[in-house]
Amino acid sequence: MKSEETIDFHLRWLWLKIFRIYNTEAANFGGTISVGYTLLNIDKDGTPSTKLGPKMGIESRSLTRTLKTMEADGLITRTTDPDDKRVMVVRLTDEGKKYRETARNTVLDLNEFLLEHLDGDDVDTFMKVSRKINTLLDEKNIFSKNHIPQPKNP
């Protein structure tokens, strides 16, 4: 089997292309894909900063950097939760809400564009397979059967 035919090959290229498209769109608004994606993951009533990282699947260190930029740009506020002072709550400013809407439209427009050009049943299957792969990738022993790593520096 050629590597071009593996499932991961497709996923890598598709996400790489979407990443670039989103970054280009975000740049039109003076932003980045990280900012856009963070905006989309902050709820209307605010989201505890500790919940944002896991929700987005990114490291807290790089999220902290993005949140600092967003606060400096007036897109969010970060305040201590009065009920639990250990918790920092991230909230959208009015400006942040406006850009969240733009990010949302970008995501929905791209999705609509794709759906317009794809067969509906095929998309359903694509989604079903994607959900199944997502579950499979959480399994602990993917490589246990035929693949025993030989550490370079034991």
By CB under 8 A, name the binding residues for a second copy: 1, 3, 5-8, 10-18, 21-22, 25, 28-31, 40, 57, 104-115, 117-118, 122-123, 125-134, 136-138, 142-143, 145-147, 149-153
Q: Tell the burial category of 149 from Cβ atoms under 10 Å away from its Cβ (0-12, 13-18, 19+).
A: exposed
Residue 49 CB, shortest distance to a second copy, in Å, is 20
Residue 150 CB, shortest distance to a second copy, in Å, is 8
> Among residues 53, 51, 56, which one has the least CA distance to residue 64?
53
Nearer to a second copy by C-beta: 82 or 134?
Answer: 134
Residue 55 contacts residue 49 (beta carbons within 8 Å): no
Alpha helices in 29-143 (DSSP H): 33-40, 49-56, 60-72, 94-116, 120-136
Nearer to a second copy by C-beta: 81 or 101?
Answer: 101
Nearer to a second copy by C-beta: 69 or 88?
Answer: 69
Q: Please give the Cα distance from 25 to 35 (Å, whole number).
A: 12
Residue 82 CB, shortest distance to a second copy, in Å, is 30
